[in-house]
């Protein structure tokens, strides 16, 4: 092990140096990949030095998501304290299903879940779990809703047409999950949004009433805290009113921006969160942990247990269900995603997490201000979002993004809302500074 750790440290040093010198990795077209790197597997082992060389090649050609020039998706940057936690999780290699094999790591996970439940007003009776990503968190919420509405579903399967509701600009995992859980994609109703990308509660109510009149069984509403393209926040209170009226489970998908619960300044964007039945967010997005770290909490711990528990005498042999977390999780074997968030939170304090979230909004303000005051740009998004959507001159956004990628200038993506397609700059990397945002625009201006 010592030898490999030494190699690891060398690779880390080489990577950090390369990231400094060139924040974007050399562009390797997919068609040239196998000519550029020797990725084949052979019968005979490599020598130690050949092994080290091939790892170095691989590492240095891999897209650099931690640098100041990565704006492509809803994660980025590198929080060293979180990386340390994740490295330890790999080294310790526990599985989170039982206290017997995870020991105090169970307490690490529970401490985070408990704290989140307190923060959002679920109180002491709330509970939750770590899912393998935001999509799966959404699926777990949808399953709890299904089983709560149709208690026979878990044993007998569903026997009637159940409908669910989400905004037209919500994440694509919602229809996928509807198919996974046996409800079907055709039973997803897409609620209209307003010009700010917020779900219209009046349209939600209308759709539910139509379905009730037609004999469907509505069961689940998904609201979004930070839509994937615009970064908009559905207003929870009006949606919660509709859910209470019709007795529907309300989930808030905060994968992207649910981290605002840590900010005094921005947590008003999720006002009414205490009225929801479940809530999820990705610490690997706004809070900068390595992928993946997705937290799901619910006000109804019994629903979590009912939907996900299963007896297994070969697995659960000591301790009670409170400490055997496998009884409330999606998987059987489950990696320790909690530790990296715990090390980060422990090291930075809640105050440090708050500063990260506030910094991301500050960077977005800077970017929006730049776009507003420079006539070559058109702005498509609005305040209180960390997605800054714009176009530059008449450059088609697809062309702008792809050329910057192919020339290894920077990584950014495009998105659309209604008729418009635009570049989507996400200021999710809290380690970035004002200069990095200005540099982003200068890079575009020099290229086009």
Interface residue list for ligand PLP (CB under 6 A): 74, 133-135, 171, 173, 224, 226, 228, 253, 255-256, 282, 292, 294
To the nearest whole angstrom, how small is the minimum distance from the Cβ of residue 412 to ligand PLP?
16
Q: How far apart are CA 92 and CA 363, in angstroms?
A: 37
Q: How far apart are CA 270 and CA 53, in angstroms?
A: 49
The label of the residue with tokens 């498509």 reads: 380
* CB of 99 or CB of 281, closer to ligand PLP: 281
Edge-to-edge strands of the sheet including 162-167? Answer: 127-131, 294-298, 278-282, 249-254, 217-224, 162-167, 188-191
* CB of 50 or CB of 194, closer to ligand PLP: 194
To the nearest whole angstrom, how small is the minimum distance from the Cβ of residue 125 to ligand PLP?
26
Residues β-bridged to residue 379? 390
The label of the residue with tokens 């998987």 reads: 331
To the nearest whole angstrom, how small is the minimum distance from the Cβ of residue 393 to ligand PLP?
29
To the nearest whole angstrom, how small is the minimum distance from the Cβ of residue 388 to ligand PLP?
16
* CB of 71 or CB of 392, closer to ligand PLP: 71
CB atoms < 10 A from the CB of 76, how many?
Answer: 25
What residue number has its CB nearest to ligand PLP? 134
CB atoms < 10 A from the CB of 114, how many?
Answer: 17
To the nearest whole angstrom, how small is the minimum distance from the Cβ of residue 11 to ligand PLP?
26
Phi and psi at residue 254, to the nearest 5°: -105, 30
* CB of 26 or CB of 63, closer to ligand PLP: 63
* CB of 282 or CB of 336, closer to ligand PLP: 282
Residue 233 has what DSSP assignment?
Answer: B
To the nearest whole angstrom, how small is the minimum distance from the Cβ of residue 308 to ligand PLP?
18
The H or E element spanning position 4 is helix 2-21
Q: How far apart are CA 47 and CA 275, in angstroms?
A: 60
* CB of 134 or CB of 218, closer to ligand PLP: 134
* CB of 194 or CB of 317, closer to ligand PLP: 194
To the nearest whole angstrom, how small is the minimum distance from the Cβ of residue 439 to ligand PLP?
25
Q: Residues 6 or more apart from 214 whose CB is under 8 A from it? A: none
């Amino acid at each position: 092990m010592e030898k490999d750790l030494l190699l690891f440290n060398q690779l880390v040093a080489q990577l950090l140096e390369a990231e400094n010198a060139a924040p974007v990795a050399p562009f390797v077209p997919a068609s040239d990949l196998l000519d550029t790197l020797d990725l084949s597997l052979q019968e005979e082992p490599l020598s130690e030095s050949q092994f080290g060389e091939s790892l170095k090649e691989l590492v240095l050609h891999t897209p650099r998501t931690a640098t100041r020039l990565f704006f492509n998706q809803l994660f980025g940057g590198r929080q060293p304290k979180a990386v340390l936690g994740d490295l330890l999780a790999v080294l310790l290699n526990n599985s989170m299903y039982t206290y017997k094999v995870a020991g105090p790591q169970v307490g690490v996970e529970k401490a985070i879940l408990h704290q989140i439940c307190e923060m959002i007003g679920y109180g002491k009776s709330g509970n939750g779990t770590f899912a393998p990503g935001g999509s799966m968190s959404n699926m777990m919420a949808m399953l709890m809703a299904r089983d709560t509405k149709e208690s026979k579903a878990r044993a007998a399967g569903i026997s009637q047409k159940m409908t669910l509701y989400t905004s037209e600009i919500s994440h694509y995992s919602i229809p996928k999950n509807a198919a996974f859980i046996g409800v079907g994609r055709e039973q997803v109703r897409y609620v209209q949004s307003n010009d700010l990308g917020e779900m219209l509660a009046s349209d939600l109510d209308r759709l539910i009433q139509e379905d009730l009149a037609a004999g469907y069984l509505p069961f689940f509403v998904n609201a979004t805290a930070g839509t994937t393209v615009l970064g908009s926040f559905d207003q929870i209170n009006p949606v919660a009113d509709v859910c209470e009226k019709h007795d529907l489970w309300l989930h808030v998908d905060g994968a992207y921006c649910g981290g605002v619960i840590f900010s005094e300044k921005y947590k008003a964007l999720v006002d009414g969160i205490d009225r929801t039945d479940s809530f999820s967010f990705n610490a690997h997005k706004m809070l900068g942990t390595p992928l993946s770290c997705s937290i799901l909490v619910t006000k109804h711990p019994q629903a979590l247990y009912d939907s996900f528990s299963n007896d297994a005498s070969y697995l659960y042999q000591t301790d009670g269900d409170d400490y055997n977390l496998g009884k409330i999780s999606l998987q059987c074997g489950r990696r320790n995603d909690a530790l990296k968030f715990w090390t980060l939170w422990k090291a930075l304090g809640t105050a440090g997490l708050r500063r990260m979230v506030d910094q991301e909004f500050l960077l977005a303000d800077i970017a929006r201000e730049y776009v507003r005051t420079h006539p070559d740009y058109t702005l498509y998004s609005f305040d209180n979002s960390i997605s800054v959507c714009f176009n530059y001159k008449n450059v088609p956004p697809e062309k702008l993004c792809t050329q910057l990628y192919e020339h290894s200038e920077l990584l950014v993506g495009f998105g659309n809302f209604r008729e418009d397609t635009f570049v989507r700059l996400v200021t999710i990397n809290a380690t970035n500074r004002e200069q990095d945002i200005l540099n982003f625009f200068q890079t575009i201006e020099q290229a086009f």
